A = this chain, B = another copy of it.
């Protein structure tokens, strides 16, 4: 049995270490989970004991195959619930995170898979993040950060990296949504801002905003 706390650590390692392949440091996990390094060390030992993580003192941690699968299943549940909340329960994309954070720990294989079916087997959540399948696999969308696009080129907004309320509400307020066609017009070296054009408007976005927008060409 994997506890709620263990699941949260597995998820943190999974996200920080690119699905668990890259070694993750104690401090990085502590920061992500908002706990202390000493707590992380304790938990990592427990995960290693359960064969969910590979741990060498002072060398950081990676996930084992079963750890990676357990983490992917939590992420799968999180993202499916996010889709459910937006599509079926009228949540906005900035409201879903906290609730999905609770729902991701519900244990029932039937529940996840039926939910998946109810939603029509979605491949991405409301923020454009991919939803792992039952085996923990997903196909990456080949999207690039909008700052790497040469002025003159265009693409479709495919993913947003920051999922905080403020950022998502900024996008709503400025009429930017996943799936929108965006053309990059100009990069301003003075403040690293970007001028972009959508079907409805021409606008300037700050570097802080641009860093979080990913488009597929």
Interfacial chain B residues near A115, Cβ < 8 Å: 89
Q: Determine how close the nearest CB of chain B comes to the CB of A102; give it in whole angstroms.
A: 5
Complex Cα gap A138–B2 (Å): 38
Interface bin, chain A: 10 to 19
Which A170-204 residues have C-beta < 8 A from chain B? none
A114 touches B91 (CB 8 A): yes
Which A127-149 residues have C-beta < 8 A from chain B? none
B111 touches A107 (CB 8 A): no
Which A84-118 residues have C-beta < 8 A from chain B? 85, 88-91, 95, 98-99, 102-103, 106-108, 110-111, 114-115, 118
B110 touches A95 (CB 8 A): yes
Complex Cα gap A99–B110 (Å): 10
Complex Cα gap A103–B112 (Å): 13
Interfacial chain B residues near A95, Cβ < 8 Å: 110
Complex Cα gap A98–B99 (Å): 20
B114 touches A108 (CB 8 A): no
Complex Cα gap A90–B111 (Å): 9
Q: Determine how close the nearest CB of chain B comes to the CB of A112; give it in whole angstroms.
A: 10
B102 touches A89 (CB 8 A): no
Complex Cα gap A141–B191 (Å): 68
A-B contact pairs, 22 of them (CB 8 A): A85-B111, A88-B118, A89-B110, A89-B111, A89-B114, A89-B115, A89-B118, A90-B114, A91-B110, A91-B114, A95-B110, A98-B108, A99-B106, A99-B108, A99-B110, A99-B111, A102-B106, A102-B107, A102-B108, A103-B103, A103-B106, A106-B106
